[in-house]
Copies of this chain bind each other. A is one copy, B any other.
């Protein structure tokens, strides 16, 4: 836990929050903090910073957080489309998405997605939310990714996607399709653009990959294929890989910009 994420449910008024769960245990037993000590906290979808522990006992940990500051939103804006994976993989993707600052996570139907995955209890918000909170706490971020579930492939790509971006974003998003057969690198498909100011939408396929019909449809609406590397990665590693490579481009882009 690098950041204790505080939610409205923890609030007890006057900038005070009472924790009684694993976060309190972590503060007491792992960080070994006590009354008077400082602790790094963040308000869910809000500011973050250093807060003071007012009391720390069997009743829980009371935190006084009156001087948090708004953290800048992560840039670039990255949205991930992920063919709905099996639950054990989804847990990892939820954590990684939150930890690495993904804005939206779309879980979509694909030919190679097993229908049973749509019955998983993990798709209920109360069940997947803990993995997002754990990711925020690890990555020291407070903005929770917005997770949506889509059970019709064609409707999602032909209708939903268009509606989402026309409504929400002024600029066209840049749509990217990891494809181990492509000879392009990520730099090739986002070159010449300010990576920090463009919305990027990345379509990660299921185990076994998208089928040809799916690739054709995605390329037809503007997804650009590129290769993450020579290896064949698991879905959860592909998510980490693409976010890591985008971050390298962002760092280099900031460096190149006039100060």
Contacts and interface: CB of A to CB of B under 8 A. Distances in A.
Instruction: Report how many copies the assembly holds.
Output: 2
A234 B95 CA distance: 11
Specify which of A101, A188, A237 lies most central, judged by the most chain B CB atoms within 10 Å of its CB: A237
A242 B241 CA distance: 9
Interface stretch (A55-63, A110-118, A248-256): A248-256
Interface string A221-237: 00000011111111001
Given A2-B232, A231-B139, A185 B255 contact: yes
A144 interface: no
A141 interface: yes
Given A185-B248, A185-B251, A187-B252, A100 B231 contact: yes
A140 B234 CA distance: 12
Nearest to A229: B247
Chain A interface, >50% SS class: helix
Contact of A252 (B99, B141, B185): B185
Nearest to A250: B229
Contact of A96 (B187, B227, B237, B249): B237
A229 B255 contact: no
Interface of A: 2, 74, 96, 99-101, 138-141, 185-188, 227-234, 237, 240-242, 244-245, 247-249, 251-252, 255
